[in-house]
Amino acid sequence: MNGFTLLRHRTALSLVGLTTLFATHAFAAPGDPLQPVEAFFPPGFGHPAAVVAIDSASNTAGDAVVIAQTRDSSLGQGGSIYGRFFSADGEGDTTPQLLVSVVGTNSELQDIYHGSVAMSAQSTRFWLLYVLEHNPRAAFRASTEVLLQEFSASGEAIGQPVRIVKLPQVTFGVAYGLSALPVVSAGPDGTVTVAWGQLAAAAAGAGIPTPIGGTGVITAAPFTSQILMRQLDTLSRELRLPTQVAIAASAQVEIPFFSQVEVPPVGTGFVTEPRLAYAPDGTLLVAWSRTIGQFSRYGVSASELRVRRYTGEGFAAAQTLVADIPDEAVVASVSANDTRYAVTWQERDTRTSLVQAYDNAGGAINTASVQTVNSPGVGLFTSGAYVWTFVPSASSPDFARGVYTQFFDAAGGAVGEPMLVNPSGSAATQAVEARVETAADDVLVVWRTRPADPEPDQVYLRRLEGL
């Protein structure tokens, strides 16, 4: 945020005040607060108590949208996703808007159990991606729809939802089920990309892949694990279908845009946890994890973290092996600019989180930084510097409860020590999940809390000085 943006927070300034304002901002340090902590749900809003997930997105002007998913504690009883627009100057903020909601019935249980949001780079419109699950308690009657809906900044729906995929599908004796939650990202030209994980197995009995929110378990072998992507042309509202072309881990050739990212050898592992990030030049970075060994949700022999950058013309560069880990690990967040990218990931068993920056050729810019923390996120600045956010875990004695930022310069060196975002001792310190945006080279940190009863769950955000 520059001095002129800050001026829009003031209706009248004396010459002395103006001088003070510019001087204060000119010498501000990374992480300095630009605004107080703000609650997503205003006092008296009356939102449901259970906030189970959050996400955020921003545009190049520094505007942002935050979503909060709420649900009843009983599986199949429905859920809602609220959204709220926050303008860069603080003057165009909206109240929380109910974006989507479903209510389960005795004849059909329904759940909304995931939301991901993307914002157009040059406008205030945003796209909500969500998963609608039907009959989640019935393994063989359950189905999942992945839907994409466009909204204005005021929370008004634009057009009808676009169905990205419906699973499980059975084609020629093979069943396809959702294996990793979908994510969405918007490019600078307004196109929107969705990625998700998918398993294919013989469609027989208990081997039918079921939605990941349901009670069914994939027991059939062999199976094939894939990550698929689809792109929506926001002008024509037409979906570009993925081409069914498998990519070997050693592939070095250019391939059509939105092919399968990777298909491991049958029965030897699976790919999951896709993460997307567009760079300002329109290239798309895809990051994912690949486990080595037999399929397991909770334990594997090893993991690989990989990335692939797609050009604006629709072709992909070779994969880059980011990390080779003797444990199950997942990519938590990825951020990209035109010349480099930063990735943060977490090892499931040890809760060890790491962050590292790379050039476009996949060369590491620095040694990975390590903390035993939860919910890591990363945001890259145009200069190549980046910020890492995290929530301390129970085994983090060096940190008080809350949300922290750690800044890194363009060479990958740590700038200062981790800093607490939220005031110590307040209700906002009971953080369980966080997100970060580097909006207009400022930092927007969003987190959700789970305070003690009878206080409801809450979502907070705060803007900080960038680097």
Averaged pLDDT, 198-220: 46
CA dist 352 and 329 (Å) reads 9
Residue 432 confidence (pLDDT): 87
CA distances from 314 to 103, 179, 222, 242, 360 (A): 40, 25, 32, 12, 16
CA dist 162 and 2 (Å) reads 38
- For residues 57-77, one letter each, b for 16 or more C-beta atoms within 10 angstroms of the residue's C-beta and e for the rest, the string is bbbbbbbbbbbbbbbbeebbe
What proportion of the chain, given as a percentage, has pLDDT over 70? Answer: 66
Q: Which residue has the higher pLDDT, 321 or 279?
A: 279
Strand partners, 292: 269, 302
Residue 75 has pLDDT above 70, yes or no: no
Beta strands in 262-351 (DSSP E): 269-278, 284-292, 302-310, 320-325, 329-336, 340-347
CB 221, CB 296: distance < 8 Å: no
Residue 354 has pLDDT above 80, yes or no: yes
CA dist 248 and 251 (Å) reads 5
If pLDDT is split at 50, 70 and 90, which confidence band does 275 have? Answer: very high
Residue 393 confidence (pLDDT): 80
Q: Specify the DSSP class assigned to residue 17.
A: H
Structure tokens at 57: 């997105």
* pLDDT-wise least confident of 145-154, 291-300, 332-341, 401-410: 291-300
Amino acid at 250: S
Q: Specify the DSSP class assigned to residue 77.
A: B
Residue 249 has pLDDT above 60, yes or no: no
Residue 167 confidence (pLDDT): 77
Which residue carries 């080779």 as its tokens? 324
* pLDDT-wise least confident of 66-80, 82-96, 212-226: 212-226
CA dist 286 and 210 (Å) reads 25
Residue 384 has pLDDT above 90, yes or no: yes
pLDDT tens-place string over residues 92-126? 788 999 999 887 666 667 788 788 999 988 889 99
Strand partners, 151: 126, 157
Residue 290 confidence (pLDDT): 75
Q: List for the chain the helix, strand, coil content (%; round to 5).
A: 5, 50, 45
If pLDDT is split at 50, 70 and 90, which confidence band does 73 have? Answer: low
Strand partners, 380: 386
Residue 171 has pLDDT above 60, yes or no: no
**Cα 213 to chain center, whole Å?**
18
CB 458, CB 451: distance < 8 Å: yes
**Contacts (Cβ under 8 Å, ≥6 apart) of 174:** 200, 201, 202, 203
CA dist 347 and 416 (Å) reads 25
- For residues 356-374, one letter each, b for 16 or more C-beta atoms within 10 angstroms of the residue's C-beta and e for the rest, the string is bbbebebeebbebbebbbb
CA dist 232 and 147 (Å) reads 12
**Report for 110-114, 128-132, 327-331: range of highest mean pLDDT:** 128-132
Residue 304 confidence (pLDDT): 78
Q: Is 7 left (phi over 0), alpha (psi -120 to 50) or beta?
A: alpha
pLDDT tens-place string over residues 387-446? 999 998 876 767 778 899 999 999 999 999 999 998 776 767 778 899 999 988 999 999
Summary mean pLDDT of the chain = 75
Residue 299 confidence (pLDDT): 47
Report domain 3-464's class. mainly beta
Structure tokens at 47: 């939102």
- The dihedral sign for the CA sequence 232, 379, 347, 452: negative
Structure tokens at 436: 């970060």
CA distances from 157 to 166, 184, 247 (A): 21, 17, 37
Q: Which residue has the higher pLDDT, 304 or 255?
A: 304
Residue spans of the domains in the chain: they are 3-464
Residue 137 confidence (pLDDT): 58
**Contacts (Cβ under 8 Å, ≥6 apart) of 236:** none
- The dihedral sign for the CA sequence 310, 239, 175, 145: positive
